[in-house]
Structure 1
Amino acid sequence: MTFLASEEELKHLSEPVDIHLEATALHQRVIRDGGPALLLKAPRSGARVQFAASLLVNIFGTRKRVANGLGVHPDQLPDLGRFLAALRAPEPPASLRDLPSLFPVAKAGWNTRPKKVAASKDLHDVAPNLSSLPVQTCWPEDAGPLITWGLVITRPPGEDDPRLYNLGIYRMQVLDGQRAIVRWLPFRGGAQHYRQWQGKGQAMPVAVVIGCDPATLLAAVIPAPGNISELALAGIFNGRPARLAPCRSIQMHVPEGAEIILEGEIHPDETAVEGPFGDHTGYYNDPADYPVFHLKALRMRENAVYLSTFTGRAPDEPSVIGEAMTDLFRPILQQALPEILDVFLPPATCSYRFAILKLDKSYPGQARRAMMGFWSLLPQFSMTKYVIVVDADIDIRNWDEVMWAVATRSDPERDLLVLNSTPVDQLDFASPREGLGGKLGLDATIKIGSETARPFSKKLVMPRDVETRAEGLFRKLNSPKCVESPRL
C-alpha cells in the first residue's frame, strides 16, 4: 500500500460501506473510470460495524497497477513476456560474444528456488473465526459471503517441499466461522493435489493467504511458461527468491509478507454444494459439489487489511489483469508459431473465450494451423471458443476492421473450422454439456494458392502523399483562419 500511496493510486474512505453488495457496487463504479485502489476503513454488515481488518479493493484495476505489481512499467510488459519465453526455451549462444545475454536467464534461475525463513513476529494468533473478516457478498443471489482473493496453497503428499507447491486464486464460499468451500476446476494444480491426497485417504493441509506481495498474487493467475512453479515465477518477478515462513498448525509454508493466514485442512471425501455465484460471464453459475476447508488457525498482522474483489461482466479486475497478461503470453505463442504477429483477447468477450490472431500468411492452410496451435499451446487457450484469423494489414483491436475482414475475406462454406466435444469452461451455459462443447475457427485471411480458384481484387489504398496533403487541408478547414464561406 505504501507504493500505491506514493503513486497517488490509493484512496482511503472512512465512511461505512456495507460488505453486502454495496462494496461491489462502489468497486464497479471506480473500475469503470480507471480509478484508484480503495481502502475501506469502516466495512460493515448491516448493523455490524466491527471487523478484524479493513477492506482493500481494486489494487489491480488498471493496466499500470498490474504492470507495477510485476515490477515493471506498462510499456515493459512485452519485454517481460519475451524474457519469460526465453526461460521456457532459451536459445544457445551463437558464440562466446553472446554469453552475456544468458546472464539474466541464469540469474532468474537462481531466484526460482524458494527460501525458508523464520516466522514473522508481526503476525499474531487470533480466534479462528472466518466471521471476523469482512468477507463480501457480491451479488444479490449469491449463495453467501465469498473469499475472492484467497491465495490457496497446496502440496502433494509426502515431505513439505515448497518447490512442489501449487498457488492458485480459488474462490471460497464461507459456510460458517470454521468452514469454507474451495472451488477449483479439475485441471488446476490444487485439484490435482487433492486427488493425490484422496488416493491415500488422508486429509490435505491447506494454507490460504489473503494479502501478500503483488508479484506472488499475479504469479498465481498468469499462464506460467513450461514447468515453472508459481513461487518460482514470483521469485523472477521480485528479483529475489520467494521467502517462506512456516505455518503453526500444519506442515506448510506461506509467503513471509502475508497479511492474513488461514491454516486448515480438507478431508478426502467431504464436499458441499457451492454456489450459485455471479461470475465473469455476467451470469450466476450453477451450484456444484466441491471440497470443504476446515479452519484450524488464523493469524494476522496488526492493522491488517483484507484484500478482496468482485467477479462479473467486464470491466472487473480479472478482465484488466487478463488484458495486461496478453503481453506476457504473446511471445510464448510466437515462440511456438512465429507467423503469429499479434493476438488480442477482447475483454468484453469474457477475455479468453474469443481470440483474434494476426497472421503473416505465406501458404495455403496456414490459418487453420494457427488456430489448432493456439488451442493446444496453454491450458487457458483450450477454453477459447472462437478464433478469428486475419491478415497483417488488419488492426485486430478495431472491431470494424476485423468484421470487414470477416465479411470480405471469408466464405462460410470454406472458411469455418468446427470442432465438436472439446473442453470448455464449466461456467459456459451456452455449451450443451457441462465442461464439453464446440469450438469455431474462422479464417478471415485473403485466400491464396489452392485455397481458391478466384484471385482476390486489389484493396483500396490512397497514396500516402495524397493522404498527407488531405490531412493538411483538413487542419486548415478546422482552423480559425479558415477561408470564408462563399456569399450567396
Structure 2
Amino acid sequence: MTMVFQNLREFLRYLDRTGQLVRVREPVSVDLEMAEITDRAMKLPGGGPALFFERPVLMDGTESDIPVAINVFGSWKRMAAALGVRDVEEHAARIADLIKPEIPKGLWGKMQMLPKLVELTKVPPRPFKGDPPCQEVILREGEFDLTKLPVLKTWPDDGGPFITLPMVITSDPETGIQNIGMYRMQVFGPTTTGMHWQQHKGGAGHYRAWKRGPGGRMPVVVAIGGDPATMYTPSAPLPPGIDEYLFGGFLRREPVYTAKAITCDLTIPAQAEIVLEGYVDTDEDLTIEGPFGDHTGFYTLEELYPVFHVTTVTMRADPVYPATLVGRPPVEDVYLGGATERMFLPLARLTIPEIVDYHMPPEGVFHNLVFVSIRKEYPGQAYKVMNGLWGLGLMSLAKVIVVVDEWIDVRNTQEAWWYALGNIDPERDVRIAKGPVDDLDHASQIPSFGSKMGIDGTKKWATEGFVRPWPEMIEMSPEIKERIDRIWPLLGIRPID
C-alpha cells in the first residue's frame, strides 16, 4: 500500500520512521560545511540517507531556528515514495495508458476507458478551505530578512548562498496560464535574489512576454517546500500548457490543494513551508549573478539575469527549509532526473514509436548524452530518430545521441557503449548537427548555440550500403545457461573482498 503525503513534514516523518533519514544534531554552517557533509552522503551506495540539519549556522555565525532538509529525493526508494508508488515505472505505465491512441470498440471497450477518465476528473487542483498552512505567518516589507533563512553556499567559488529547490511561479500576461519552474536563486541581500531564468525554460518565456507586453513589474511568487510530488513537478519537462498542479494531482491520485498569494493573482501550494512574494521589473537592468557550482560538475560563470524583489514572506509557524545540492555526479538530481526519464518515455514513444527505451546516464548530466534503443525496420532509421529527438522539447539540448538496436539494455551504459563502439565506422556513422544547447554548456563556441553529435550504433544493413558479412553477437546457449543456473549455488563462487 503506497502513501500520499500532504506536505514535506509528513514525508520527513515517514523517512525518519523507516530509517531513511539521519538527524544531524551538531551545529553545522550553511557556508560550505553543510554542502560537504551532504555531498559525502549523496555519494554513498544507493544515494545515502536524507539529512535533517537541526541547528544550521547562518553566514553571519548565528544559529537559525529553521532546520534544513536535504537529499530527501536522493534514492530510488525515496523518489518512488515521494511520487506515491513503489516504482516510478508505475507512473510511466499510467501515462502510457492515458495517451494510447486506440479508440475503444463496442460498449465494453468504452466502459473500460471510464475509470481512466474519471481518475483525471478527480485530480485538478482545489482551493484549500480556510487559512492555508503556508500563510500562518505573514511578514511585510521591513519585517523579514532573506539572509536569516538557512540558504546554503555550496561550493567555494559560488557568488553567495543560493536557493536550490524552489517552485518559481509566474504567469503568461496574455493567457494567464501559470508556469512553475525550478531555477536557482542567488540571495543578494535582505529583500532581493537573482532569478536564473535559462532562456529555454517557461519562466524566461513569461519574462519575455511581459517585457513585450505590459512591461514593468511582473508578479513572481516562489514557494519552498510542499507535498513531495508537487515539489518534484517543476523539474519535469511538461508539454506547454500542462498545469504542474494537475500533473502533481495525477501523480498523487488526489488533488493538490492551493491558495491565492497575498499580493498578486498567482496560485501557490497551500502546503508550502515558505513563500516569497514579489516581482521582477522587466524595465530594470539585469544584474550579475553567479558563479555557481552547477549540476554539470563545473562552475557556471557570472552572467546577467533579472533581480527578484521580495515584498512579502509567508510561512508556517515552524517551517522547514528544503534544499538540494548539485555538483559532480552522482548527487540527488540523479533520482529527480531519473524519474523524469522513466515517466516521460511514453510521450517520446508517442512521437517516435520505434523507440524501445532511452537512458540519460548521470555522467552525461542528462543533456550531454542520451542512449536510445530502437526497433529498426528500414535503412537510415537511426538518423530519423536522432532528428526526431532533437525536435522534441528540451531533448533539443541533447549534445550526443547514441542509437543502438532494440536488444541492447541502454540503462547498462557499459553494454550500450560496447555495442555502439563496436558497430561504428566514425566517418560513416557519426553526424554533426547545429542547434540550441543548454545555457550551462561551457564548451559551446557561442553561449546557448552549438553543435551536436549523433552516432548510429545499430547493426548496418546491405540497404544502407554495407556489403560485408555482419558478425553475430557472442551468446551462450540457453540450455547451458539454464543448467549452470541450477548448479551455481553449489559451486561456492563468490566475489572476493
Normalising by structure 1, report the TM-score: 0.91
Inter-CA distance 206–227: structure 2 relative to 1 (3 Å threshold): closer
**1:313: Cα distance to partner?**
1.4
**1:43: Cα distance to partner?**
0.2
Q: Does the CA contact (< 8 Å) of 1:358 and 1:391 recur in 2?
A: yes
Q: Does the CA contact (< 8 Å) of 2:399 and 2:452 recur in 1?
A: yes
Distance in 2 (CA, whole Å) between partners of 1:374 and 1:158 is 30
Q: In the alignment, does 2:348 pair up with 1:336?
A: no
Q: In the alignment, does 2:58 pair up with 1:42?
A: no
Q: Does the CA contact (< 8 Å) of 1:42 and 1:49 recur in 2?
A: no
**1:113: Cα distance to partner?**
3.2
Q: Does the CA contact (< 8 Å) of 1:225 and 1:332 recur in 2?
A: no
Distance in 2 (CA, whole Å) between partners of 1:47 and 1:276 is 21
Aligned to 1:116: 127
Comparing 40-49 and 80-89, the one that deviates more: 80-89
**Given residue 155 of structure 1, which amino acid in structure 2 is its aligned partner?**
S
Aligned to 1:239: 253
Aligned to 1:485: none
Q: Does the CA contact (< 8 Å) of 2:360 and 2:369 recur in 1?
A: yes
Aligned to 2:450: 437
Match of residue 380, structure 2, among 357, 365, 368: 365
Q: Secondary structure at the match of 2:271?
A: coil
Aligned to 1:314: 329
Q: In the alignment, does 2:180 pair up with 1:167?
A: yes
Aligned to 2:147: 131
**Given residue 231 of structure 1, which amino acid in structure 2 is its aligned partner?**
Y
Gaps of 5+ in 1: 481-488
**1:479: Cα distance to partner?**
7.1
**Given residue 258 of structure 2, which amino acid in structure 1 is its aligned partner?**
L
Comparing 392-401 and 446-455, the one that deviates more: 392-401
Distance in 2 (CA, whole Å) between partners of 1:104 and 1:7 is 33
**1:32: Cα distance to partner?**
1.4
Q: Does the CA contact (< 8 Å) of 1:114 and 1:232 recur in 2?
A: yes
Distance in 1 (CA, whole Å) between partners of 2:379 and 2:167 is 46
Aligned to 1:152: 168
Q: Does the CA contact (< 8 Å) of 2:274 and 2:315 recur in 1?
A: yes
Distance in 2 (CA, whole Å) between partners of 1:426 and 1:479 is 50
Distance in 2 (CA, whole Å) between partners of 1:116 and 1:306 is 24
After superposition, give the CA deviation of every residue in 1:416-462 in whole Å (9 maximum; x if it has no partner).
12112x11011111111110111111111111131112231333333
**Given residue 427 of structure 1, which amino acid in structure 2 is its aligned partner?**
L
Q: Does the CA contact (< 8 Å) of 2:398 and 2:437 recur in 1?
A: yes
**1:463: Cα distance to partner?**
1.9
Inter-CA distance 52–58: structure 2 relative to 1 (3 Å threshold): same
Q: Secondary structure at the match of 1:5?
A: helix
Distance in 2 (CA, whole Å) between partners of 1:256 and 1:409 is 54
Q: In the alignment, does 2:32 pair up with 1:21?
A: yes
Q: Does the CA contact (< 8 Å) of 2:55 and 2:65 recur in 1?
A: no
Inter-CA distance 454–310: structure 2 relative to 1 (3 Å threshold): same
**Given residue 157 of structure 1, which amino acid in structure 2 is its aligned partner?**
P
Q: Does the CA contact (< 8 Å) of 2:50 and 2:71 recur in 1?
A: yes
Distance in 1 (CA, whole Å) between partners of 2:18 and 2:266 is 35
**1:239: Cα distance to partner?**
2.1
Q: Does the CA contact (< 8 Å) of 1:209 and 1:254 recur in 2?
A: yes
Q: Does the CA contact (< 8 Å) of 2:195 and 2:305 recur in 1?
A: yes
Distance in 2 (CA, whole Å) between partners of 1:384 and 1:140 is 29
Q: In the alignment, does 2:201 pair up with 1:185?
A: no
Distance in 1 (CA, whole Å) between partners of 2:63 and 2:473 is 66
Distance in 1 (CA, whole Å) between partners of 2:478 and 2:329 is 38
| Correspondences of 1:404-415 after superposition (within 5 Å) | 404-415=418-429
Number of residue equivalences: 473
Q: Does the CA contact (< 8 Å) of 1:418 and 1:440 recur in 2?
A: yes
Aligned to 2:412: 398
Q: Secondary structure at the match of 1:83?
A: helix
**1:81: Cα distance to partner?**
1.4
Aligned to 1:103: 114
Distance in 2 (CA, whole Å) between partners of 1:149 and 1:477 is 50
Aligned to 1:299: 314
Match of residue 94, structure 1, among 105, 108, 124: 105
Distance in 1 (CA, whole Å) between partners of 2:332 and 2:24 is 20
**Given residue 167 of structure 1, which amino acid in structure 2 is its aligned partner?**
I
- Quote the sequence identity (%): 35
Q: Does the CA contact (< 8 Å) of 2:123 and 2:253 recur in 1?
A: no
Comparing 250-259 and 99-108, the one that deviates more: 99-108
Inter-CA distance 6–99: structure 2 relative to 1 (3 Å threshold): farther
**Given residue 339 of structure 2, which amino acid in structure 1 is its aligned partner?**
A
After superposition, give the CA deviation of every residue in 1:281-314 in whole Å (9 maximum; x if it has no partner).
1111121111111111111112210111111111
Q: Secondary structure at the match of 1:186?
A: coil
Distance in 1 (CA, whole Å) between partners of 2:216 and 2:122 is 33
Q: Does the CA contact (< 8 Å) of 2:79 and 2:336 recur in 1?
A: yes
Please, what is the CA RMSD of the aligned residues?
A: 2.1
Distance in 1 (CA, whole Å) between partners of 2:481 and 2:99 is 44
Inter-CA distance 170–409: structure 2 relative to 1 (3 Å threshold): same
Q: Does the CA contact (< 8 Å) of 2:58 and 2:64 recur in 1?
A: no
Aligned to 2:18: 7
Distance in 2 (CA, whole Å) between partners of 1:70 and 1:472 is 38
> Which of structures 1 and 2 has the bigger CA Rg?
1
Distance in 2 (CA, whole Å) between partners of 1:364 and 1:389 is 13
Distance in 1 (CA, whole Å) between partners of 2:371 and 2:207 is 35
Distance in 1 (CA, whole Å) between partners of 2:388 and 2:174 is 37
**Given residue 162 of structure 2, which amino acid in structure 1 is its aligned partner?**
L
Q: Does the CA contact (< 8 Å) of 2:396 and 2:436 recur in 1?
A: yes
Distance in 1 (CA, whole Å) between partners of 2:413 and 2:220 is 44
Aligned to 2:189: 176
| Correspondences of 1:211-226 after superposition (within 5 Å) | 211-225=225-239
Q: Does the CA contact (< 8 Å) of 1:110 and 1:241 recur in 2?
A: no
Q: Secondary structure at the match of 2:346?
A: helix
Distance in 2 (CA, whole Å) between partners of 1:51 and 1:333 is 45
Comparing 199-208 and 392-401, the one that deviates more: 392-401
